[in-house]
């Protein structure tokens, strides 16, 4: 199975002390993993790491962002901003070398050194207006609606550069709207700190527009500006990037797992299915095993089987499954194997996925079992048998030169 499916997973390991931490939504095309921590020198709390799938990045250009919530403060230390979405290849230059029409409010002569075409990053010059005031602007007609995610800017290389600017967007070139991040209606952006260094930055909230205008507000010596926008054609961006798309109702967020338990969820559109499972070889107190499927009604935002029962020590009434060959049971095992799907040690209906060092337990379709030899879900598994269960002991087995957690008959 392909571990790079365009699904979103949440892995949460939290205790009662962290129940008051504000809920985080997972990024589209990424993974959100949360785990409780309790160190002697620090307050207890919840630490969450969001990781994008391969070939995806956050709009900041990073693959990983972190959030930390202390139980005593009930707030994310990094602020209230939500986890951004992971985006695909919508990050190419939109102006330089694309033949777009760039216009300016005014320019200092000669135009080839200070006019609109001098504003391209590939040009040795920079746009310099005829006068320095906050009424000056440079704008581009992208020819059709484009998704704008960020920019690259630079000064003239001779000591002049823009330090602060506004961004405005338009669909017709007549009516303009300043950028708003939802909290600030007319947000200002930091430009350059010197005239030679190229600076790349990203919009917290991507915008769709045909026309984009930059309005300098503060500068060093004189206004001097070279630029390119980063994004892609709106029609070419086929991936889902909005959390609100297709939503009807409050939506579904991962339910709070019990101590020593975890929940990972997959989202495809509005449909959310989660798997709750116990860690450290524990099992649910009122269920016949260590894992259970959870379904959610997006109209009311409630999951089945919640609140989850606690995870307790295994007894003889909840035996191990019979597994032929190695299996993966915990996150530490993923450090010894390549990205991929493996037999889950706790139940034949589930399989383990290791992706970039992270561990997930995922369900097969109803009535199917995972076969690690065939690497797929089938009606019968040649590598896992849940009908004739027997208590097995934990061992370490070599598999292709990699160490996996295996269960062998005792």
CATH of domain 92-236: 2.60.120.260
> Using CA atoms, how far apart are residues 235 and 238, in angstroms rounded to an integer?
7
Contacts of 76 (CB under 8 A, 6+ apart): 21, 22, 24, 67, 68, 69
287 and 293 Cβ atoms separated by less than 8 Å: no
User: In this predicted model, what pLDDT tens digit does every residue of 359-401 receive, in sequence order?
Assistant: 888 889 888 999 999 999 999 999 998 754 433 333 333 333 3
Fold of the domain built from segment(s) 322-408: Antimicrobial Protein, Tachycitin; Chain A (2.170.140)
Regions of the chain where pLDDT drops below 70: 1-20, 38-43, 54, 59-60, 236-252, 254, 267-272, 297-298, 316-319, 387-410
Q: Which tokens hold the place of 206?
A: 């991507």
Q: Does domain 1-88 have CATH number 1.25.50.10?
A: no
- Among 201, 308, 327, 223, which Cα is nearest to 257's? 308
Name the 3-class secondary structure at 321: coil
Q: Where are the domains of the chain?
A: 1-88, 92-236, 246-308, 322-408
User: In this predicted model, what pLDDT tens digit does every residue of 252-300 receive, in sequence order?
Assistant: 676 777 778 787 877 655 666 788 888 888 898 877 789 988 877 667 7
Whether the CA torsion 76, 78, 80, 84 is positive or negative: it is negative
Check residue 12 and report its DSSP letter: E
User: Model's pTM, two decimal places?
Assistant: 0.54
């Amino acid at each position: 199975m392909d571990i790079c499916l365009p699904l979103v997973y949440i892995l949460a390991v939290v205790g009662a002390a962290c129940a008051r931490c504000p809920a985080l939504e997972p990024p589209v095309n990424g993974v959100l993993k949360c785990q409780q921590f309790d160190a002697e020198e620090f307050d207890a709390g919840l630490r969450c790491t969001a990781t994008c799938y391969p070939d995806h990045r956050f709009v900041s250009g990073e693959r990983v962002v972190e959030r930390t919530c202390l139980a005593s403060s009930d707030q994310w230390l990094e602020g209230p901003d939500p986890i951004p979405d992971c985006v695909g290849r919508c990050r190419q230059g939109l102006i330089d070398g694309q033949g777009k029409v760039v216009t300016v409010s005014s320019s200092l002569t000669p135009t080839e050194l200070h006019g609109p075409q001098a504003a391209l990053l590939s040009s040795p010059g920079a746009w310099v207006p005829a006068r320095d005031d906050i009424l000056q602007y440079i704008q581009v007609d992208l020819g059709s609606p484009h998704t704008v995610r960020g920019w690259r800017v630079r000064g003239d290389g001779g000591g002049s550069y823009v330090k602060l600017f506004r961004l405005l967007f338009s669909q017709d070139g007549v009516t303009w709207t300043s950028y708003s991040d939802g909290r600030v209606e007319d947000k200002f952006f930091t430009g350059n700190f010197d005239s030679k260094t190229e600076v790349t930055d990203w919009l917290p909230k991507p915008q769709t527009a045909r026309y984009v205008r930059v309005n300098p507000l503060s500068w060093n010596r004189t206004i001097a500006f070279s630029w390119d926008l980063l994004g892609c054609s709106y029609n070419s961006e086929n991936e889902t990037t909005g959390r609100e798309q297709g939503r009807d109702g409050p939506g579904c967020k991962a339910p709070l797992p019990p101590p020593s338990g975890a929940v990972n969820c997959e989202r495809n559109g509005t449909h959310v299915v989660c798997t709750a499972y116990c860690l450290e070889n524990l099992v649910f107190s009122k269920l016949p095993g260590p894992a259970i499927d959870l379904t959610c009604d997006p109209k009311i935002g409630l999951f089945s089987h919640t609140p989850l029962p606690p995870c307790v020590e295994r007894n003889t009434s909840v035996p191990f499954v019979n597994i032929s060959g190695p299996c993966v049971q915990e996150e530490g095992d993923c450090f010894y194997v390549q990205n991929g799907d493996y037999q889950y040690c706790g139940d034949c209906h589930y399989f383990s996925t290791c992706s970039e060092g992270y561990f997930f337990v995922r369900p097969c379709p109803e009535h199917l079992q995972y076969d690690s030899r065939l690497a797929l879900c089938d009606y019968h598994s040649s590598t896992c048998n849940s009908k004739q269960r027997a208590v097995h002991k934990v061992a370490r087995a070599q598999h292709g030169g990699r160490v996996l957690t295996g269960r062998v008959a005792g």
